[in-house]
Structure 1
């Protein structure tokens, strides 16, 4: 078993601060299945998926075939943009449960603070284009349906993803159950200091997607693991640059969900170690002056989907 630390969410549940992400596996379910099995064997107990990833079924199969008790696992999945109308929240959530072969999830999230017109529940109909038209379903209307999932013990915690501080402020002013997690892009090229401080002040845990950067997702102007500062810190702790950047995140007080299909790297990503505060600050400083966001809905789905300044 790994020595990965956990955090206690505002919902009362514990979440491991290093998890395994399954984004990008929709074209290779067998690869996701094998990688999830390797992650379970390595000691991962926190797994992140989403309906739109089309990886729930492969992940659920790997978990079902493992001998890891369900109560030891923390499973996150997410609500996609086509399903924000209140009448679609529970039906698509139930589809996620069926694919995962589970009675409940530990975390259910609003994937993006954007809504699109419902098309279908079928994956073949859910492709997004460059000119998506938002329908502006109020977030609180979607959220109230998710609160019912908590009341029904179908979701132990609920959260959001890609929410800004003003969006969180608005939701907190209206909700009955506050979001337990906000999953956002964070890495050493994009340290998100203001958002991290705000979420800590509100007892909302951040989870970092793309914690090692996002090579290949779109052309990046910088390599996140090759900076001399990171290489020197890696040498100091006798760790890889990737392990340094992941632990920089955990040492800052949030969860990270790296993804890999290579068993040796899956295992390496789970290594936790304490870092000196001066080293944490040195890495944070790398992205402070010119923060670089690689995942932007305005670029993916058109200017009407702008949510970030």
Structure 2
């Protein structure tokens, strides 16, 4: 269908399956390694040694390098904390300077072609840039018509950091997701005007902002529908209508907040007011 970017992470548990499928496609001549783009992410329990973590990810994938390696969250956990929702006693003090030095080492060793971050606020981006020798290439964050990330997109744009949108449809189907975005009367009205689906309008909105959009579907018809968003043309009035939508962050990160061991005592701390 034309999909070329495959987004995975240690904590998803999907690295081996993604690697098997891609290696099979390369072996069969369906595609070449240089024609696909593979992203994975450093989990909090591996902040103490990003190089070893990435080497394990590459073993999981059966690949020699990643195209992009991201710090999954600005959170450091105990080395054994390998669950998506950490326990209170599993948090450690975050030392982003040493974590980023490890990420830069991954790049230097040729284990990945680029490095970046995920779930970083504008403030955390600017703080990272104060000590980084290599700027992050990407900040992957929640972004959709009901969480437009205007300030973050501006900050990242000023520093030539690409914004990649996860949950560009609002994450329906995820335990924490919502159908509010695609069910919005404004989105549905725009879709009707263009003889498109609400999902296509939502994805095209993200693309129109210069972001990449990471879609997740196992349904062949939905896969076709999603990629057809590339052919949709939204006009200025459509974009004005989207800006009228009330904003609401869906992936809020409550599981990373506590008053004792986490560096973040509140959601305001985690997102530096961008909540």
Distance 1:161 1:223, change over 3 A: same
Q: Which residue of 2 aligns with 1:115?
A: 76
Give the superposition deviation at 1:58: 0.6
The answer to whether structure 1 residue 253 and structure 2 residue 216 are counterparts is no
Q: Is the 8 A contact 2:182 2:198 kept in 1?
A: yes
Q: Distance in 1 between matches of 2:100 and 2:34?
A: 25
C-alpha distance after superposition, 1:246-298 (max 9, x if no partner):
010000110100101101101211120332122123213213xxx2111122x
Q: Is the 8 A contact 1:116 1:132 kept in 2?
A: no
Q: Is the 8 A contact 1:130 1:301 kept in 2?
A: no
Which of the pair has the greater relative contact order for Cα pairs under 8 Å at 6+ separation?
Answer: 1
Equivalenced residues, count: 257
Distance 1:157 1:219, change over 3 A: closer
Give the superposition deviation at 1:59: 0.7
Q: Which residue of 1 aligns with 2:165?
A: 208
Matches within 5 A, 1:264-275: 264-271=221-228, 272=230, 273-275=232-234
Mark the runs of 5 or more structure 2 residues left unpaired by the alignment: none
The CA RMSD measured in Å over matched residues stands at 1.7
Q: Distance in 1 between matches of 2:12 and 2:89?
A: 19
Q: Is the 8 A contact 1:165 1:198 kept in 2?
A: yes
Q: Is the 8 A contact 1:45 1:72 kept in 2?
A: yes
Distance 1:150 1:265, change over 3 A: same
Q: Distance in 1 between matches of 2:138 and 2:249?
A: 20
Distance 1:127 1:274, change over 3 A: closer
Give the superposition deviation at 1:76: 0.5
2:255 to 294, 300, 306: 300
The answer to whether structure 1 residue 46 and structure 2 residue 2 are counterparts is no
Which consecutive aligned stretches of 4+ in structure 1 deviate over 6 angstroms post-superposition?
Answer: none
Mark the runs of 5 or more structure 1 residues left unpaired by the alignment: 1-41
Q: Distance in 2 between matches of 1:207 and 1:213?
A: 14
Taking structure 2 as the reference length, the TM-score comes to 0.88
Give the superposition deviation at 1:130: 5.0
